[in-house]
């Protein structure tokens, strides 16, 4: 598996944990070595593992946790860091998200997630993954 595929696999694990309301899996995907941050749509930034994990516990264990899927994931690597941009599909909306990963002990762990409103999903052809 290529490095990009490994990062996309970690990104998919995040969305699988979210969709499956699997708190154990959600805790595993988040960084323990680096202080994570998270900005849920409409929320103030959450800083530190405890705040981030507690927020996911509230969301996943709440009765109104949204169903979610991800599409259009694109990887951008920066050494031992990488970020993924993607679309999040909820029942009535599409959000744009950025997930930042750091390599920890050979695995890619999320250190930041941010999702927010997008006017409409892009109809443009995806750009190259190469930054110029």
Model pTM score = 0.88
In a domain, 27, yes or no: yes
83 alpha carbon, distance to own chain's centre? 9
For 36, residues 6+ apart whose C-beta sits below 8 A from its C-beta are 30, 48, 49, 52, 110, 111, 112
Number of domains in the chain: 1
In a domain, 126, yes or no: no
Other Cβ atoms closer than 10 A to 93: 11
Query: For 3-30, what is the mean pLDDT?
Result: 96
Element spanning 111, H or E: strand 107-117
Structural domain boundaries enclosing 14: 3-117
Whether the Cβ atoms of residue 10 and residue 48 lie closer than 8 Å to each other: no
pLDDT tens, position by position, 57-89: 999 998 777 789 999 999 999 999 999 999 999
pLDDT tens, position by position, 18-39: 999 999 999 999 999 999 999 9
What does the pLDDT read at residue 91? 87
CATH number at residue 44: 3.10.450.50
pLDDT tens, position by position, 90-131: 988 999 999 999 999 999 999 999 999 987 655 544 444 443
In a domain, 127, yes or no: no
């Amino acid at each position: 598996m290529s490095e990009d595929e490994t990062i996309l696999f970690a990104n998919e694990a995040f969305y699988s944990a979210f969709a499956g309301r699997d708190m154990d899996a959600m805790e595993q995907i988040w960084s323990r070595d680096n202080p994570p941050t998270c900005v849920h749509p409409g929320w103030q930034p959450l800083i530190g593992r405890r705040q981030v994990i507690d927020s996911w516990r509230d969301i996943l264990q709440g009765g109104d946790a949204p169903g979610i899927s991800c599409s259009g994931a694109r990887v951008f690597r920066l050494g031992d860091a990488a970020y993924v941009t993607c679309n999040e599909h909820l029942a009535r909306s599409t959000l744009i998200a950025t997930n930042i990963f750091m390599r920890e002990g050979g695995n890619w762990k999320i250190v930041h997630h941010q999702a927010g409103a997008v006017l409409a999903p892009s109809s443009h052809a995806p750009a190259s993954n190469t930054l110029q």
